[in-house]
Amino acid sequence: MSSIIESAKNTFRKESQAIADLEYQLTPDFEKAVLAIVKCTGKLIVTGMGKSGLIGRKIAATLASTGTPAFFMHPADAYHGDLGMISKDDIILGISNSGQTDEILRLIPFLQENGNTLIAMTGNPDSSLARHSAYHLNIAVKEEACPMSLAPTSSTTATLAMGDALAIALINERDFRAEDFARFHPGGTLGRRLITRVGDVMRSDNLALAAPDTKLSDVIIEISNARMGVAVIMDSGRIAGLVSDGDVRRAMQKYRDRFFEVTAGEVMTRTPKTVAADARITEAEEIMRKYKIHSLIVTNPDGGLAGVVELYDMML
């Protein structure tokens, strides 16, 4: 095995061990910090220098997107006007592996005078930052993945993992749901899928429709003209069934010479799967996956035909 591959594996081992060790470093302060954030009427302001600051930006972004009002404040900028961002109701999350970062320690007198709660995330429970905080989250690691133990590697990984643990605990405490996540991500694919309704993407015009006594040859023409994969079979204004491309192929094999005499009513699915127009498209996808189908009849509140949705219609 090459030394390059072994180096990568060694990095994975050290960083995964650093994350695993966090489980045994949790104290009641973690739970207290989570509950304090839940009760907070202000914002959670994350701050950190250097690599800790970069990880802090990600933590703040994760928190903000999962229901906790949060933003990142660079500690050096705090002394040039950004302290005005901090209100008395805010909680501060200070990140420093050593717990001795001067730019963060210089914030402590202001935070104490302002009445802010300080949560420290450090690798040293005896550090100045840890001792002056209300709650301390221990991110100590046994060794960095860096062979010289200089570049923050295992420590930044542990910091990120602790931030994720904080975010997930807050998600659970707030009963944050997929629909809530979608509201904060309306521009992303996931957000669009979670908030888009079946009625927004279904076909309601130029549908392939036929009566139970329609010959299959004519049903094929209807399906082709509508450029759909199915035809809805209607009887006296009510949904009677569904004929799919697969039904047509199976009918060809089964009836052979008398195929052109067969009617839609003889081969249709009499209890087709349906979905309400106001259902989310994720619900429609789940039905399709469960029953291994590619099309659904869409119904309006009274059970009548509203349209048809096919799998490719939902590829946002």
The pLDDT tens digits for 17-60 are 999 999 999 999 999 999 999 999 999 999 999 999 999 999 99
- Domain boundary pick from 144, 176, 208: 176
The contacts found for 55-58 with CB under 8 angstroms, 24 or more apart, are 55/95, 55/156, 55/159, 55/160, 55/163, 56/93, 56/95, 56/163, 58/160, 58/163
What does the pLDDT read at residue 189?
A: 55
CATH number for the domain harbouring residue 108: 3.40.50.10490
The tally of domains found in the chain comes to 2
Cα–Cα dist 281/275, whole Å: 9
The pLDDT tens digits for 196-231 are 889 988 999 999 999 999 998 899 999 999 888 899
Residues 51 and 159 in one domain: yes
CATH number for the domain harbouring residue 208: 3.10.580.10
Confidence of residue 2 (pLDDT cuts 50, 70, 90): confident
Q: Which domain holds residue 48?
A: 3-176
Residues 159 and 282 in one domain: no
Helix (H) or strand (E) holding 304: none
Confidence of residue 315 (pLDDT cuts 50, 70, 90): low
Cβ-Cβ contacts under 8 Å for 80 (sequence gap 6 or more) = none
The pLDDT tens digits for 57-86 are 999 999 998 889 999 999 999 888 789 889
In a domain, 46, yes or no: yes
Cα–Cα dist 306/301, whole Å: 9
Could you tell me the pTM of the whole model? 0.67
In a domain, 189, yes or no: no
In a domain, 185, yes or no: no
What does the pLDDT read at residue 163?
A: 97
Tokens 């600051």 — which residue? 53
Strand-pairing partners, residue 119, are 93, 135
pLDDT at position 160 over 60: yes
Nearest to 203 by CA among 52, 307, 305: 307
CB-side exposure of 31: number of CA atoms within 13 Å? 2
Residues 123 and 227 in one domain: no
Cα–Cα dist 197/282, whole Å: 9
The pLDDT tens digits for 136-151 are 999 999 999 998 888 8
Task: Work out the average pLDDT over 237-248.
Answer: 91
